[in-house]
Amino acid sequence: MSKPRMVRRFSAVVRVSHWLYALSFITLAVTGYMIYGSALDWMIPLFGSLEGAMVVHRVAAVFLIMAVLIPILMRPREVTAWLGEVFTFTEADIAFLKTFPAKFVGVKKKIPPQGFYNGGEKINSLIQIISGVVMITTGLFMWLSSSPPPIMYPLHALFMAIGSASAIGHIYLALLNPISNEAIRAMINGDVSEKYMQENHGQWYQEVYKAAPKGKRSN
């Protein structure tokens, strides 16, 4: 079998920002949970003390904000394309969501042709965008204001839970789910195979090849 042809999906800037965001997100979630609940209190010694964990929390917050700003400043077109896709929900997305439960437990089903992002990715993106904006805003208030409005605290906690719950699903689908984990290649090397593109993002495939149709591979 010849080498599969690869299609570029994410630029290096976006990939680096994604992983910077991911690492800061996990650090923030772990250190933040130490104030929120007690299930992770056994990890406190890793940070010296709870105050140490709170310092790490703030440092990680700076990195997370950087991970948001870098792609906005350096790849604005890629970001606006993403936002544009995410905020337009089509029938194909709903059709995708119907097949999602099977995909979630690893049963391969034919997926209705999807755009650059499928319905599930769009929902995850939406949750991350909304919770990210709320977390950064409320967090900055709590950090920098001498008397933050009291509503900031429950909001910060609420969107921590929503954002983290969605992130857990995102991590599972990318790393552990046998069907979809091919997609992680796009976030590491930046490209996906043409076959994967055709099977999972039919509309995107059409858009890319409409102008200059390539010889179709039969598999």
Partner 1 sequence: MTRMARLIDITRCTACRGCQVSCKRWNQLPGEIGPATGSYQSHADLSPGRWTMIEFYEEKKNTGFEWHFRKKTCMHCGDAGCLKACPNGALVREENGTIRHIEEKCIGCGYCTVHCPFGIPKIDEAAKKMRKCTFCYDRITNGREPACAKTCVPRAIVYGTWDDMASLADERLAQAKKLYPNARIYGRDELGGLGVIYVLPDKPSNYGLPEDPRLPASLGIWKQAVHPFGNAILGASLAATGLAFIISRRNAMKLEESAKLEEGGYKDE
According to CB under 8 A, which one of 104, 112, 136, 190 is a site residue for partner 1?
104
Q: Between 153 and 209, whose beta carbon lies closer to partner 1?
A: 153
- The answer to whether 205 and 212 are in contact (CB under 8 A) is no
Angle at CA of residue 212, ends 211 and 215, nearest 5°:
140
According to CB under 8 A, which one of 12, 43, 50, 94 is a site residue for partner 1?
50
Question: Whose CA is closest to 43, among 30, 32, 28?
Answer: 30
> Between residue 129 and residue 188, which ones bind partner 1 under the rule CB under 8 A?
147-148, 150-151, 153-154, 157-158, 160-162, 164-166, 168-169, 171-172, 176-179
- The answer to whether 215 and 14 are in contact (CB under 8 A) is no
Q: Between 90 and 137, whose beta carbon lies closer to partner 1?
A: 137
Cα separation, 209 vs 203, in Å, equals 10
Angle at CA of residue 6, ends 5 and 10, nearest 5°:
170
**Smallest separation, CB 130 to partner 1 (Å):** 15
Q: Between 145 and 189, whose beta carbon lies closer to partner 1?
A: 145
According to CB under 8 A, which one of 12, 51, 69, 206 is a site residue for partner 1?
51
Cα separation, 98 vs 111, in Å, equals 9
Cα separation, 82 vs 15, in Å, equals 14
- If one asks whether residue 35 binds partner 1 (CB under 8 A), the answer comes out as yes
Interface contacts to partner 1, rule CB under 8 A: 35-38, 50-51, 54, 104-107, 147-148, 150-151, 153-154, 157-158, 160-162, 164-166, 168-169, 171-172, 176-179
